[in-house]
Homo-oligomer: A and B are copies of this chain.
Amino acid sequence: MDRILLGHGSGGKLMHSLIREHFAPVFELGEMGDAALLRLDPGRIAFTTDSYVVSPLFFPGGDIGELAVYGTVNDLSVAGARPLYLTAGFIIEEGFLLSDFRKIVRSMSHAAERSGIKIVAGDTKVVNRGKGDGVFINTSGIGGIIEGADVSASRIRAGDCILVSGEVGNHGTAIIAERNGITFDPPVVSDTAPLNGIIKELLRSLGPDVHFMRDPTRGGLATTLKEAALECGLCMKIKEGAIPVAPQVTGASELLGLDPLYVANEGIFIAMVEGRRADEALSVMRSHPLGGNASILGRVEDKPEKLVLLETAFGGTRIMDMLEGEQLPRIC
């Protein structure tokens, strides 16, 4: 038997063998009950969920399993939380190769270990051939808010500096290139990575002077800044020349008709910090292996309200809106 059968999702013997052979060795599941029992330290927690439907499942720089773990780790991290516990829900298409499933589960296990998060509960459903697409994964996560962290759009102030921790556009470009069978030299690879380490350093140094963080996934940097502008009612003014974009991503974007500012990222975050501490924030980011290309993009201003303004390389100003319609479906 080398493929997933409908019976693997039916709650009986096949499902138990799947759990025993694939999950039990690599996840930290408790007894076979459906809920994990956990003890949390007193304090506030963050709770988040994301489903992953990326196509293809394996892409340059990662796979859906890794993405599903890091994606939720990152959502917790940008909320100012230390990632603690994760659940994993699989929706598998009948006929999916067990060898690919094993690869994905191992990849999740490695990603969890690298992030220091524990996968404590799971669920497996199987849908008929042609009613799914390989595998979809939901991960939900709990994190404990880090002492001194207080990040939310309501804390953004005029005068804050806007930083990004790394290059923009790598994940989405890698996926779309892979989907179209295009390769670049040097290759474009996904930036998928756990942000809890670099964020912990930033919070340790700046504490509550970090006002806001978010990871620019679907919709890209531009959409995320626009969300922030709408939520806090202020203006985000950034310089095009300050946005780190890898040369091969610039090239690929021109070829594929993409705008890297609207392309999904999976291993960077934006931070808005107290203006006078921007250089310190930059230096903390740059000292971390994931922050070598960190950059100060610009500043928050009072007006014009709720806008993102991009000063172009030619000295003009462009108003950046949210992504309209779909640029790249199933990017994560």
- Interface residue ranges, A against B (CB under 8 Å): 5-7, 9-16, 31-40, 42-53, 55, 75-76, 78-79, 81, 85, 87-91, 120-123, 125-128, 130-133, 136, 138, 140, 142-143, 145, 152-154, 214-215, 217-220, 223, 227, 231, 262, 264, 321-331
Chain B residue at minimum C-beta to C-beta distance from A81: B35
**Which residues on B sit within 8 Å (CB–CB) of A53?**
9, 91, 125, 127
Chain B residue at minimum C-beta to C-beta distance from A85: B47
Chain B residue at minimum C-beta to C-beta distance from A10: B326
A-B contact pairs, 27 of them (CB 8 A): A6-B329, A9-B53, A9-B218, A10-B328, A10-B329, A12-B218, A12-B322, A12-B324, A13-B325, A16-B322, A33-B214, A34-B48, A34-B215, A36-B47, A37-B46, A37-B145, A38-B44, A38-B45, A42-B42, A47-B142, A51-B90, A55-B131, A89-B138, A125-B330, A127-B330, A132-B133, A142-B142
Most buried by B among A11, A36, A131, A142: A11
The answer to whether B12 touches A89, judged by C-beta atoms less than 8 angstroms apart, is no
The answer to whether A325 touches B12, judged by C-beta atoms less than 8 angstroms apart, is yes
The answer to whether A35 touches B16, judged by C-beta atoms less than 8 angstroms apart, is no
**Which residues on B sit within 8 Å (CB–CB) of A131?**
55, 132-133
Q: How many angstroms between the C-alpha atoms of A241 and B221 in the bound complex?
A: 64
Most buried by B among A14, A43, A140: A140
**Which residues on B sit within 8 Å (CB–CB) of A88?**
49
**Which residues on B sit within 8 Å (CB–CB) of A87?**
47-49, 140
In the complex where A12-B223, A136-B136 touch, is A33 in contact with B125 (Cβ < 8 A)? Answer: no
In the complex where A53-B91, A121-B48 touch, is A153 in contact with B31 (Cβ < 8 A)? Answer: yes
Least CB distance, A152 to chain B, in whole angstroms: 6
**Which residues on B sit within 8 Å (CB–CB) of A44?**
37-39
The answer to whether B81 touches A323, judged by C-beta atoms less than 8 angstroms apart, is no
Chain B residue at minimum C-beta to C-beta distance from A12: B323
Least CB distance, A258 to chain B, in whole angstroms: 13
**Which residues on B sit within 8 Å (CB–CB) of A16?**
227, 322
**Which residues on B sit within 8 Å (CB–CB) of A33?**
78-79, 152-153, 214
Q: How many angstroms between the C-alpha atoms of A324 and B17 in the bound complex?
A: 11
The answer to whether B35 touches A75, judged by C-beta atoms less than 8 angstroms apart, is yes
**Which residues on B sit within 8 Å (CB–CB) of A38?**
44-47
* Besides A13-B324, A34-B48, 18 new A-B residue pairs in contact (Cβ under 8 A), listed by A number: A5-B325, A7-B326, A9-B330, A10-B218, A10-B326, A11-B217, A33-B79, A33-B152, A37-B145, A47-B87, A47-B121, A48-B87, A51-B123, A89-B89, A126-B329, A127-B329, A136-B136, A142-B142
